[in-house]
Amino acid sequence: MNSPLPISVVIVARNEALTLPRCLQSVQGWVTEIVVVLNATTDDSERIATEHGAKVQHTEWRGFRDTKNEALGLATQPWALCLDADEEVSTQLRESITDFFARGHDQRNVGAKFPRKVWFIDRWITHGDWYPDHSLRLIKRDASRWGGDQFVHERMECDGPVATLPGDLHHYSFPTLASHVAKINPFADLFVAQQQAKGKRFSALAAVLRPAWRFFRAYVMRLGFLDGYPGFYIAWATAFGAFVRYSRLYEAENQRSPDV
């Protein structure tokens, strides 16, 4: 058996006992270390992570960016593979990462990105806004950090060249359609907080044009129609999510009691 790669898998999770086993099994045996950072967790996530050989740490939630950076700081290997609990490294992606090190690409790059593919309702989504969704997740720790906004849309930043690898990172983000609908308001909360922190105001033009653009881009320009009815739903739901976010911003700026 080949020696494990010099990688720390880093996972931040909260009450993910149902999804953690699949994620952890996909990285067992070929990476040196698995670090699972839990926040406000009340289910069996800690037991499951420990049984899969992971090091477990509990921390307070400080937003996506800062919490993920704290988790990254707990890794000990020169490289880190940052995963969410509802993701899974496919066989092809594992082979691509192994080849990345075998061919010495780790000496020329400080990171690697790869496509992320979502399972939704009855199929893998391979078009529209959800695919290929290239994600920079394999990084050299001394040249990388999570950046971006404090509230939402955190992104990995690397000080050097980044390779693109074949092979999909599987994402089981929405086990039911209802679970997707339930995410619209929490993301709207984050959007409102983000816009207010930046001092940005509601725009009626943006509230009308952004949703229309999101649907057209996802369904027509990015060929979402090739994903059948799920592709149609995703395009409409993406547009509606944008409409809700801007409407919530309007509400935050204008809501008042009826007796005022």
The pLDDT profile of the chain, 260 residues, written as one tens digit per residue, is: 579 999 999 999 999 999 999 999 999 999 999 999 999 999 999 999 999 999 999 999 998 999 999 999 999 999 999 999 999 999 999 999 999 999 999 999 999 999 999 999 999 999 999 999 999 999 999 999 999 876 667 899 999 999 999 999 999 999 999 999 999 999 999 899 989 988 999 999 999 999 999 999 999 999 999 999 999 999 999 999 999 999 999 999 999 888 75
Amino acid at 225: F
Domain boundary pick from 140, 174, 208 = 174
- The amino acid present at 84, given as its one-letter code, is D
Three-state DSSP at 114 gives strand
| Residue at a domain's end among 174, 207, 228 | 174
Query: Do residues 162 and 250 both lie within one domain?
Result: no
Q: What pLDDT score was predicted for residue 154? A: 86
Domains held by the chain: number? 2
Is residue 260, in this structure, part of any structural domain at all? Answer: no
How far is residue 133's CA from residue 156's CA, in Å, rounded to a whole number?
14
Q: Model-level pTM?
A: 0.91
**3 state SS of 158:** strand
pLDDT of residue 2: 78
Per DSSP, helices labelled H in 152-257 are 177-181, 184-197, 204-216, 228-254
**Region of residue 53 (left: phi > 0; alpha: psi -120 to 50; beta: else):** left
122 found inside a domain? yes
Question: What is the model's pLDDT at position 153?
Answer: 73
Sheet containing strand 87-89, strands side by side: 87-89, 169-174, 116-120, 123-125
Same domain, 147 and 118: yes
pLDDT given for residue 260 in this prediction = 59
pLDDT at 152: 67
E strands, 14-126, where?
31-38, 55-58, 79-84, 87-89, 111-114, 116-120, 123-125
153 and 206 together in one domain: no
